[in-house]
Amino acid sequence: MSAAEGPLVVGVDTSTQSTKALVVDAATGQVVASGQAPHTVSSGAGRESDPRQWWDALREALHQCGDAAREAAAVSVGGQQHGLVTLDARGEPVRPALLWNDVRSAPQARRLIEELGGPKGWAERTGSVPSASFTVTKWAWLAEHEPEAVRAVKAVRLPHDYLTERLTGEGTTDRGDASGTGWWASGTEAYDEETLARVGLDPALLPRLVRPGEVAGTVRDGHDLPFSKGTLVAAGTGDNAAAALGLGLRPGVPVMSLGTSGTVYAVSRHRFADPTGTVAGFADARGDWLPLACTLNCTLAVDRVAALVGLDREAVEPSTGVTLLPYLDGERTPNLPRSSGLLHGLRHDTTAGQLLQAAYDGAVHSLLGALDLVLDADADPSAPLLLIGGGARGKAWQQTVRRLSGRPVQIPEARELVALGAAAQAAGLLTGEDAAAVARRWKTSAGPVLDAVERDEATLARISGVLSDAAPLLERGPGSD
């Protein structure tokens, strides 16, 4: 490990599948140590994880960082959005956390939309129209299906809140992650009493909102992590807001993130309220806004198709009319929570490589359909589309995004942008800087730019046509009458 020029900070990314930790030089942005440990997600009717796994994974990831983690002056946690963590009076989980991609609460989402002003009313009040991903719908599902568990709940947290609270002993959250719950009002930037009353959630069970740049607390005694008592702890935030910090994102620059879920977003100076529900009007972690559209099915769905046809994920061949909508876990954009995958146009001469390319095309089509809605007057029409996430390194993903977007595509060389954004947030506590300015100083968005190619309008139109024709079938879901 080379000598650091400045104090060391730790940035954490607790995601769906694993927890990662980076030890970063606050002066230069150099990653001096890193670690990662997995956790499991149930594969039954829903998607759940025991939050205690996240703490164990964090401990293991920090252990892999060695002595560098012990020298950290500040730490911050970025985490998967929307997850419902329920704690008892001792701070222990009442039950496994309901994760963002658990879509069992789709009926509750529909009912809440109807009961509280319709899509327009929700968008105006909270910035978003809730889908089954949103925390408020998960609480409503829990109240309906597990009332005994609800009676035992003494605190409600998001995934990043859970780790932050175990570090500090204080229940806190931030505006970026809170904006994905459905019970935070974007107009007032406070918890929405009407929504909480409707779902029977006592606001006293919710964490304190920490302002951007404010210290959430300090590391307490009695933990088993390598931090000293008194180490500063930043507010943390949701994964997309953390990645925006990690890129040092300026307003109007578009981002496409290719991970377990796929997202498109951009920082905006303006509060969003899309009554169609396509764009979620999230807050960012700084004081601006982060309009975002998310698909449930991205890299995992494409990898599953690759496995089914027995190919490496890069072994694509040009598609010749076959369309694959890879909605393997339902879908959020478009809002079809009960849907399954759909294959159309299969012929005798269709190859496995063409089927795989069709899966890529279907996943990217969903994201690009929302990109124009995400971008507003702040958008820079000449700015390359920043491609991040695990899929961004794949040639097939890169070429599919170029072909279907018609835009130049930039691939930042920096990896683990969620953890880097959390580290920038921690560094800002020490230097007094805006966290995004810290990341720009670290030059985290630098990377090669792939030139624009002609947009493949024919493929986009074909997929849109199949989606339109099949929408009634997709909405009914498999096994419906």
Q: CB 273: neighbour CB atoms within 10 A? A: 19
Q: Are strands 155-157 and 85-87 parallel, antiparallel or unpaired?
A: antiparallel
DSSP per-residue string spanning 150-172: HHH--EEE-HHHHHHHHHHSS-E
Identify the active-site residue in 239, 274, 329, 434.
239
C-alpha 408: how far from chain center: 24
**3-state DSSP assignment of residue 436:** helix
Tokens representing residue 185 in the block: 């009002």
Q: Residue 336 belongs to what H/E stretch?
A: none
Nearest Cα neighbor of 413 from 436, 446, 439 is 446
Q: How far, in Å, CA of 358 to CA of 364, rounded?
A: 10
312 is catalytic: no
Q: Residue 304 belongs to what H/E stretch?
A: helix 299-308
Q: Are strands 72-79 and 18-25 parallel, antiparallel or unpaired?
A: unpaired
Angle formed at CA 276 by CA 273 and CA 280, multiple of 5 degrees: 50
Compute CA distances 73 → 154, 242, 369, 423, whole Å.
32, 19, 43, 11
Backbone CA torsion sign across 171, 172, 177, 181: positive
* Alpha helices, DSSP H, located in 239-298: 239-246
E-strand ranges in 40-174 read 48-49, 72-79, 85-87, 97-98, 155-157, 172-174
* Alpha helices, DSSP H, located in 375-433: 395-405, 417-431
Q: Residue 464 belongs to what H/E stretch?
A: helix 457-476
Tokens representing residue 171 in the block: 């229940």
DSSP label of 100: T
Q: Are strands 255-258 and 262-265 parallel, antiparallel or unpaired?
A: antiparallel
Q: Are strands 255-258 and 237-238 parallel, antiparallel or unpaired?
A: unpaired
Nearest Cα neighbor of 33 from 64, 77, 70 is 64
Tokens representing residue 326 in the block: 């890879």
Question: 141, 108 in Cβ contact below 8 A?
Answer: yes
Question: 162, 103 in Cβ contact below 8 A?
Answer: no
Q: How far, in Å, CA of 88 to CA of 95, rounded?
A: 9
- Catalytically active residues, by annotation: 239
